[in-house]
């Protein structure tokens, strides 16, 4: 009769197998994860770009969110003095001078903070995608020297998008798409206002639905964070929170300045990461930068 196969397993003492591998620390695991995904420039779909954007944000969460919060902190610190609750009674009495000044300062400050934070975080995220080390002082200096150009690009983009929105809404969406990566071209490539707009127009010849899905997803995810800051600026909401919590006005202002800066930091870090990944993907599809990165490697 045929015999069934028999497997023999030989057991050896543990001390004959050599010393066990040392347990990796948290920093070792973080470096291993960082090296496993860098460089990360390549052609990707929408879900892959979202995953990469959130992955970069997760790996550098403290740095990206902290810098975004610091960019918003000076403006948020002015809200106890220039907020809408300061001018509520004067507006009801017919005096709108203070309200106009407050609106002008808040709008200009928000635009400046948005431009500065977006440019700074875009350089950091793009360096991470290319697998390069980030030198914060050098990055900060590069952004500050080109901040006026970034502001100019943002102004032109806002005017074009607003004019397009007034023309049956659809042209505004198209203009927002075509000029969406102009700030990245400005701060990463060092282009001027006209060249940055031209680069964005050229790089976004295709991929409208990819941009729309990415922008909408980033907006939906970041909406609760930005909404907390916007809600606290309403005089009625502020009065309700003060009555419910029992905090003094000074304590509420201090806590809300810090909380709103942090929430806006999360929102701007997410949107900057998503747009920078989209910018890198557009360059891969139009210019083959992934092949250049492979040759350099």
Quote the pLDDT of residue 212.
94
Q: Is residue 29 part of a domain?
A: no
Quote the pLDDT of residue 3.
52
Residues 109 and 259 sit within 8 Å (Cβ to Cβ): no
Return the structure tokens found at 45.
């779909």
* Residue numbers in the chain where pLDDT is lower than 50: 1, 14, 17, 27, 30-38
Q: Rg of the Cα trace of the chain?
A: 25
Question: What pLDDT digit, counting tens, does each position of 86-114 carry?
Answer: 766 555 555 666 677 777 888 888 899 99
State how many domains the chain has: 1
Quote the pLDDT of residue 98.
67
Q: How far is C-alpha 262 from the geometric centre of its chain's CA atoms?
A: 13
- % residues pLDDT > 70 (the chain): 79
Q: Is residue 67 part of a domain?
A: yes
Residues 82 and 103 sit within 8 Å (Cβ to Cβ): no
Rounded (10°) angle between helices 182-189 and 147-166: 170
Instruction: Report the predicted TM-score, pTM, of the whole model to 2 decimal places.
Output: 0.80
User: 103-106, long-range: CB within 8 Å, 24+ apart, which pairs?
Assistant: 105/78, 106/75, 106/78, 106/79, 106/82
Range of the domain at 146: 61-88+100-285
277 CB burial (10 A radius; 0-12, 13-18, 19+): buried
Q: Is residue 44 part of a domain?
A: no
Q: Is residue 294 part of a domain?
A: no
Cα(14)–Cα(22) distance, rounded to whole angstroms?
Answer: 15
Quote the pLDDT of residue 182.
94
Contacts of 99 (CB under 8 A, 6+ apart): 84, 87, 90, 91
Give the residue carrying structure tokens 């690009």.
153
Q: Is residue 49 part of a domain?
A: no
Return the structure tokens found at 278.
């989209």
110 CB burial (10 A radius; 0-12, 13-18, 19+): middle
Cα(226)–Cα(216) distance, rounded to whole angstroms?
Answer: 14
Q: Is residue 114 part of a domain?
A: yes
Contacts of 188 (CB under 8 A, 6+ apart): 122, 123, 126, 279
């Amino acid at each position: 009769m045929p015999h069934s196969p028999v497997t023999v397993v030989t057991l050896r003492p543990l001390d004959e197998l050599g010393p066990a591998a040392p347990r990796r620390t948290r920093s070792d695991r973080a470096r291993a994860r960082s090296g496993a995904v860098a460089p990360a420039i390549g052609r990707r779909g929408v879900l892959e770009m979202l995953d990469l954007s959130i992955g970069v944000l997760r790996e550098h969460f403290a740095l990206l969110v902290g810098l975004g919060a610091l960019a918003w902190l000076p403006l948020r610190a002015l809200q106890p003095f220039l907020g809408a609750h300061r001018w509520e009674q004067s507006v009801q009495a017919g005096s709108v001078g203070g309200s106009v000044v407050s609106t002008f300062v808040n709008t200009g400050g928000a635009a400046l903070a948005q431009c500065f934070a977006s440019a700074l975080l875009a350089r950091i995220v793009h360096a991470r995608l290319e697998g390069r080390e980030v030198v914060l002082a050098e990055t900060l200096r590069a952004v500050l020297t080109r901040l006026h150009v970034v502001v100019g690009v943002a102004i032109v983009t806002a005017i074009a998008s607003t004019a397009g929105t007034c023309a049956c809404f659809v042209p505004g969406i198209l203009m927002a798409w075509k000029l969406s990566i102009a700030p990245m071209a400005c701060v990463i490539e060092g282009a001027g206002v006209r060249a940055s707009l031209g680069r964005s127009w050229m790089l976004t010849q295709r991929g409208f639905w990819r941009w729309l899905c990415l922008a909408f997803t980033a907006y939906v995810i970041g909406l609760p964070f930005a909404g907390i800051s916007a809600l606290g600026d309403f005089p009625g909401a502020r009065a309700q929170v003060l009555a419910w919590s029992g905090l003094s006005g000074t304590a509420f202002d201090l806590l809300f300045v810090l909380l709103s800066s942090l929430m806006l930091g999360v929102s701007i870090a997410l949107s900057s990461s998503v747009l920078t990944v989209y910018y890198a993907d557009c360059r891969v599809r139009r210019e083959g930068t992934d092949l250049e990165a492979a040759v350099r490697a």
